[in-house]
Structure 1
Amino acid sequence: MAFNPNELPPGCGFHPTELEIITILRNRVLSQQGYPGVLERNLYGPDATPWLILSEEDGTIPWQRVGNAVDIGKKVYVFTVAPRLGNGSQRDRSAGCGSWVPRTGPRNVMDGGGLQVGTRRSLSFQPRTEQYGRDRWVMHEYELDDSQLNPGQTTDLVLCRVAKYPDVEPQIPDLNFAEEDN
């Protein structure tokens, strides 16, 4: 039986630290085996619109299967290949009806001894047109440092933490204090 983070008992959760995420990615790259609770999907490319590529057969996104409510802000973890543009080092982050736009440069992920073991980038999904809604898809993309690979080994495999947040104006009640003073 496979581990499903949505079926954990109350009070338990799958919340790996950045160092644990890099460790999971390193184990996946070196052993070629998946990890329970981490999906394997192609988040980049012409058919990779996030709400379609992350959907299960029943049409839900993994974090939506808790009761009947949509749990906004929950995260899903995904192994994916981040293709490069040509032979260069830049990544092609086009995805279906839009693209993943970097919001920060690479940030170092360090181990307990101060050694860099990977990098993290923050990205958000930007649709090409407004017809695809205003929800905000946010992703942290984790990549191994070359020091974590075997000599001569390279990889384009990354581990991504993806979340969806509504892009809705907060409802602020109309407080009319002038009427209360009368």
Structure 2
Amino acid sequence: MEKGEPDPSKQLRLLPGFRFHPTDEELLVHYLSRKAASRPFPIPIIAEVDIYKFDPWDLPDKALFGEREWYFFSPRDRKYPNGARPNRAALSGYWKATGADKLIHSTAGQLQNVGVKKVLVFYKGKAPPGFKTNWIMHEYRLTDSYGNPSHTRKNGSMRIARLVILRD
């Protein structure tokens, strides 16, 4: 097997024509909330990867599924031990948040916030200038029952149940 080729034993065996194109609500309600509750998935379609240990162009090989979009469950560490700011530094650059967070609402039953979607762009080099690339990431976080972003603290880091979608 050549370097960079996906491991055939890890490839999913899905029926021809299968498409994985969930909505924002489906990603939060059916995937991220299940992951946060440590419930198993019938089909392992989303890989668990600490995305900040890699550059974005190395991540497609780590995904279990996808051609132009790749889905990952990833932990989120804090920039400072006692702070709430996330550390988004990667190997050769950093992920910069752009635009306002988008609230994701449930369409089932009464309208309620189920999560937040944040768009991040990858910059090569050190902040603040860096060089903007075409790599975009969509970060999803669950909200608690009051509509606030939720997280748990474990071993001094924010271990947020979080789903990210990477696009080139």
- Tell me whether the two structures share a fold, i.e. TM-score over 0.5: yes
Task: Tell me the equivalent position of 2:85.
Answer: 90
Tell me which of 114, 118, 125 is aligned to 2:115. 118
Task: Tell me the equivalent position of 1:144.
Answer: 142
Task: Tell me the equivalent position of 1:15.
Answer: 21
Alpha-carbon shift at residue 90 of structure 1 (Å)? 1.5
Task: Tell me the equivalent position of 1:81.
Answer: 75
Task: Tell me the equivalent position of 1:176.
Answer: none
Tell me which of 48, 53, 57 is aligned to 1:51. 57
Task: Decide whether aligned partners of structure 1 residues 32 and 93 sit closer, same or farther in structure 2, where only a CA change above 3 A counts.
Answer: farther
Task: Decide whether aligned partners of structure 1 residues 63 and 30 sit closer, same or farther in structure 2, where only a CA change above 3 A counts.
Answer: closer
Alpha-carbon shift at residue 97 of structure 1 (Å)? 0.3
How far, CA to CA, are the matches of 2:164 and 2:113 in structure 1? 18
- In structure 2, the residue corresponding to 1:22 is in which secondary structure? helix
Alpha-carbon shift at residue 13 of structure 1 (Å)? 0.6
Aligned identity (percent) is 26
- In structure 2, the residue corresponding to 1:110 is in which secondary structure? strand
Alpha-carbon shift at residue 4 of structure 1 (Å)? 3.1
The two structures, once aligned, show a CA RMSD in angstroms of 3.1
Contact 2:136–2:166, Cα closer than 8 Å, also in 1: yes
Tell me which of 125, 130, 139 is aligned to 1:128. 125
TM-score norm. by structure 2 comes to 0.71
How far, CA to CA, are the matches of 1:100 and 1:106 in structure 2? 15
Alpha-carbon shift at residue 48 of structure 1 (Å)? 1.8
Alpha-carbon shift at residue 25 of structure 1 (Å)? 0.4
Alpha-carbon shift at residue 63 of structure 1 (Å)? 3.8
Task: Tell me the equivalent position of 1:27.
Answer: 34
Contact 1:143–1:158, Cα closer than 8 Å, also in 2: yes
Deviations 1:71-126 (A, max 9, x none): xxx21110001112222222111111001111122111111122111100001111
Structure 2, unpaired ranges of 5+: 1-8, 153-158
Structure with the bigger percentage of strand:
2
Structure 1, unpaired ranges of 5+: 65-73, 165-182
Structure of higher CA gyration radius: 1
